[in-house]
Structure 1
C-alpha cells in the first residue's frame, strides 16, 4: 500500500481531468479518486450515492470532506480513500482550499498539493468547447476559486502549473517528478 497521493486544486476547466489522464499515460498506478456524489448530472468520475449512504457515512464519522456545488453534494469519504490507496496512487480533484486542508488533516498520507490554474477566459472557452450546459455556474465557481486562493495567501503549493501555458503531458511529467524526487529522498 502506498502512502503517496496527489491533490489537484484549481478552478473549473483548469485541466484536472486532462492532467489526470496524462498521469495515467505515465503510470497506471495513478488513479482518479472518485468522490461520492449525491445528486444528479454528470456521473463519470464519481461514485453516485444516495442521501441515505451519506447519512450512514456521517454517522460513522467517515466523511473527511463534503461540499455542495451545482445542486449536488460531493464527498471525500474514508472507505473510498482507503480503497484508493490500496489500488494505486490517488489523484484527488478539489476546488476549495478548505477541502485540501480537511483531506490533509483527516487522512494522513504523503500528499503533494498541485495548483492547476487557467484564466477565467480559458474556463469559459473550455467549458463551452466541451458542451457544458452550466458554463455560467462554472464561471461563478472560477470566481469563487480566485477568492479562495486570495483568502489563503499562506497556502503551500508543492507545484503550480498554468495550464494555459503548459500542456497536459508536461504538467503530468512535472507532477510525476514530485513523486520521483520524494522516492529518491529529495525534498519538494
Structure 2
C-alpha cells in the first residue's frame, strides 16, 4: 500500500506559503491547504476557528500533534484535522517552526511528508507584508527573525527542496514540488 503524501511548507512570514499553495491547487486540485485549528482572534480565513475548551478536549484525547502560540493566538495541528485533510486530498501544511515540522513528521507518521523550505530576505517580508495590508508587520518581522534563528539552531534539518521565492515563481515552485512528490510515489511503488 502506498503511504499517503503530504507537503510541508516551512518559512518565515510572507515567504510565499499561501501563494505557492495556490499555485499547487491550480496545478492539481488534490492539493489543499491544511486549515489549522486557531484559538484566538484576528484573521479567520484559512483556519478552523476553535475555542479554548475545544483545545483542552483535543489535548485530553491525545489529538494535538503540535501547537504553537504567535500573534496572541494558538495554532494547532490536530490529528482529526489531518485525517480529514488526507481524506480530501494532499494536505499542504504551513509551518514556521522546526519543532512543528519535527512534531508533524514524528507525531503523524502515517504519511510521507515532503519538506519544503521557502525563503525570502527580511526586507522582502517587510515589503510583502506592507503590500498585502498587514497591520502587524513589526510582529511578522520579529517572526522572520525567529525563523532565521530557528534554522540556525537546527542546521541538520533535512529539506527535500529549498526555494528562494524572490528567484522562483510560485508556479515553478509548485511544479518542482509536484514532480518531487510524483518521484517519491513512483519510488515507493517500484
1:165 and 1:40 map into 2 onto residues whose CA distance is 34
Normalised to the residue count of structure 2, the TM-score between the two structures is 0.96
1:31 and 1:178 map into 2 onto residues whose CA distance is 17
2:135 and 2:173 map into 1 onto residues whose CA distance is 27
Task: Please name the residue that 1:34 is paired with.
Answer: 35
- Measured after TM superposition, the shift of residue 2 of structure 1 is 6.1
Deviations 1:59-111 (A, max 9, x none): 10100000000000000000000000111000000000000000000001100
- Measured after TM superposition, the shift of residue 44 of structure 1 is 0.5
Aligned pair count? 186
- Measured after TM superposition, the shift of residue 33 of structure 1 is 0.4
Task: Please name the residue that 1:24 is paired with.
Answer: 25
Is 2:95 aligned against 1:111? no
Task: Please name the residue that 1:13 is paired with.
Answer: 14
- Measured after TM superposition, the shift of residue 175 of structure 1 is 0.6
Task: Please name the residue that 1:86 is paired with.
Answer: 87
Is 2:95 aligned against 1:60? no
The answer on whether the counterparts of 2:40 and 2:51 sit within 8 Å (CA) in structure 1 is: yes
Structure 2, gaps ≥5 residues long: none
- Measured after TM superposition, the shift of residue 159 of structure 1 is 0.2
Normalised to the residue count of structure 1, the TM-score between the two structures is 0.97
The answer on whether the counterparts of 1:37 and 1:75 sit within 8 Å (CA) in structure 2 is: yes
- Measured after TM superposition, the shift of residue 29 of structure 1 is 0.2
Task: Give the 5 Å matches for 1:126-137.
Answer: 126-137=128-139
Moved over 3 A (4+): none
SS at match of 1:132: coil
2:129 and 2:18 map into 1 onto residues whose CA distance is 13
Structure 1, gaps ≥5 residues long: none
1:161 and 1:175 map into 2 onto residues whose CA distance is 10
2:154 and 2:6 map into 1 onto residues whose CA distance is 22
2:114 and 2:39 map into 1 onto residues whose CA distance is 27
SS at match of 2:187: coil
Task: Please name the residue that 2:151 is paired with.
Answer: 149
1:169 and 1:144 map into 2 onto residues whose CA distance is 27
SS at match of 2:180: helix
